[in-house]
Amino acid sequence: MALEFRNVTKEFTTNSGARLTAVTDVSFRVEPGEFVSVVGPSGCGKSTILSMTAGLYQPTQGEVLVSDRAVTGPNSHVGFMLQKDLLLPWRSILNNVEFGLEARGVAKAERRERAMAELAHCQLAGFENHYPYQLSGGMRQRAALARTLAIDPEIILLDEPFSALDAQTKLLLQNSFAGTIAETGKTTLLITHDLAEAVLMSDRILVLSERPGTVMAEIKVELPQRDKPINRRTMPEVADYAAQLFKHLKLEEKAA
From the list Mg ion, ligand ADP, none, pick the one residue 44 interacts with, judged by a Cβ distance below 5 to 8 Å according to partner type: ligand ADP
User: DSSP 3-state assignment of 161?
Assistant: coil
Is residue 61 a contact point for ligand ADP (CB under 6 A)? no
**Minimal distance, residue 8 CB to ligand ADP, in Å:** 12
Site string for ligand ADP, 4-43 (x = CB under 6 A): --------x-x-----x-x-----------------x-xx
CB 9 within 8 A of CB 24: yes
Q: Which of 36, 39, 44, 200 binds ligand ADP (CB under 6 A)?
A: 44
Site string for ligand ADP, 175-214 (x = CB under 6 A): ------------------------------------x---
Is residue 174 a contact point for ligand ADP (CB under 6 A)? no
Side-chain half-sphere of 95: how many Cα atoms within 13 Å?
A: 9
- Tell me the CA distances in angstroms from 162 to 138, 174, 197, 227, 231, one per residue in order: 8, 8, 9, 21, 18
CB 75 within 8 A of CB 55: yes
Q: Which of 24, 35, 45, 47 binds Mg ion (CB under 5 A)?
A: 47
Q: In what order do the strands lie in the sheet with 19-30?
A: 19-30, 3-13, 61-66, 69-70
Angle between the N-to-C axes of helices 137-150 and 108-121, in degrees from 0 to 180, rounded to the nearest 10: 130
**Piece of the chain touching ligand ADP by CB under 6 A; list 45-53, 95-103, 175-183, 241-249:** 45-53
Which region, left, alpha or beta, applies to residue 244 given φ > 0 means left and ψ of -120 to 50 means alpha? alpha
How many residues of this chain bind Mg ion (CB under 5 A)? 2
Query: Which positions lie near Mg ion, rule CB under 5 A?
Result: 46-47
User: Which residue ranges make up the site for ligand ADP (CB under 6 A)?
Assistant: 12, 14, 20, 22, 40, 42-48, 211
